Amino acid sequence: MELSRCRIRRTGCNALRSCFYCTVGLIWADGDCVFITPLQPPKNSSTSHHQVHFCRHQVLGLFRTVHGLCYSSPKKWPPLISVVAERVDDGSLELSIWRMNTAVQCVSFSKWALLSLPQLPVLQGCLWHPERDVFCLVFKDSARIYVVNEDSSELQEVKTITPFAGSRFVCGTWSKNGKRLILATESTLMFYSIPCSDIEQTEMEVILGLERVCCIEGLEGDRFVCTVELPLDSMVVRSRSERYLMDQSRGPLETLLNIHAATEVGGEREGLLNAQFTYLIA
């Protein structure tokens, strides 16, 4: 059973990050088919402490190629499932939203809404609001916020956000309280304060000077974890210069040996292009 597949190294590739709902179960895909593996209710709560049991998996839908899966917010009931995939008949790209059927006892979902996509979103680019029926689709050249109308099963686009000229979006997230939408380019974090009364009215804050942003995740309150990649080659060059300045007071033979040793260390690291560092941004 293949749970996920990804060719992109620098993004972490956690394809099942938003594919588990605590009272429903796990959703996953094998490439062209989406499955649901429901949780099995414990028969005896005293003996099944800290143990999770699953039922037999069910087929949610068939597609040509599945590109993304995620549940809506854990605070949302009944939950929604969004699937980014190519249609079987013509291969067009679309976002399908599936709604849980609460009228039956077993776990089942039915297709509820469809949205044609102009291009493929970024990896994990479907961001559900933590408290409302709102989600954001993050593309490389834009981010679009949609409101879900439960009465008519329509998806209304309420706002489009574009990155700075010459840049592109790589990831994004909502804050845990839902008051901020954070979008990241390769070197910039863009914070959008979105009021609950009017999503179209937003205020933007920008943090510049980052290098190769690859992932951002919201914490409690207004705190966030941002993971960036720093090139090791520049760190090695800097360590060489610092080593040379420190060794100027030593003898010429000892200085030469130390510089040669630093060069060998740098040569061994030429194959290691990047290292990940994590920052807390309040």
Up-side HSE of residue 12: CA atoms within 13 Å toward CB? 20
pTM of the model: 0.70
DSSP string, 27-84: EEESSSEEEEEEBPPPS-TTT-TT---B---EEEEE-SEEEEEEE--TT-SS-EEEEE
Whether residue 71 is contained in a domain is answered as yes
Whether residue 9 is contained in a domain is answered as yes
Are 181 and 174 a contacting pair, CB within 8 Å?
Answer: yes
Whether residue 90 is contained in a domain is answered as yes
Characterize 177-194 residue by residue with b for buried, 16 or more Cβ atoms within 10 angstroms of its Cβ, and e for exposed. Answer: ebbbbbbbbbbbbbbbeb
Whether residue 19 is contained in a domain is answered as yes
Whether residue 141 is contained in a domain is answered as no
Predicted confidence pLDDT, tens digits, the chain (282 residues):
455 554 544 443 456 667 777 777 888 887 788 888 887 766 665 555 566 677 777 888 888 888 888 888 877 788 888 888 888 888 889 999 888 877 667 777 888 888 999 899 988 889 998 888 889 999 999 999 998 887 777 888 888 888 888 889 998 999 888 888 989 888 888 888 876 656 666 666 777 667 778 788 887 777 788 877 766 555 455 555 544 444 444 444 343 334 333 344 444 333 333 333 444 444
Whether residue 190 is contained in a domain is answered as no
Tell how strand 154-161 and strand 143-149 pair up. antiparallel
* Total count of domains within the chain: 1
C-alpha 88/C-alpha 172 separation (Å) is: 29
Residue numbers of the domain that contains 11: 1-117
Characterize 65-74 residue by residue with b for buried, 16 or more Cβ atoms within 10 angstroms of its Cβ, and e for exposed. Answer: ebbbbbbbbe
Q: Which residue type does 157 have?
A: E
Whether residue 46 is contained in a domain is answered as yes
Whether residue 14 is contained in a domain is answered as yes
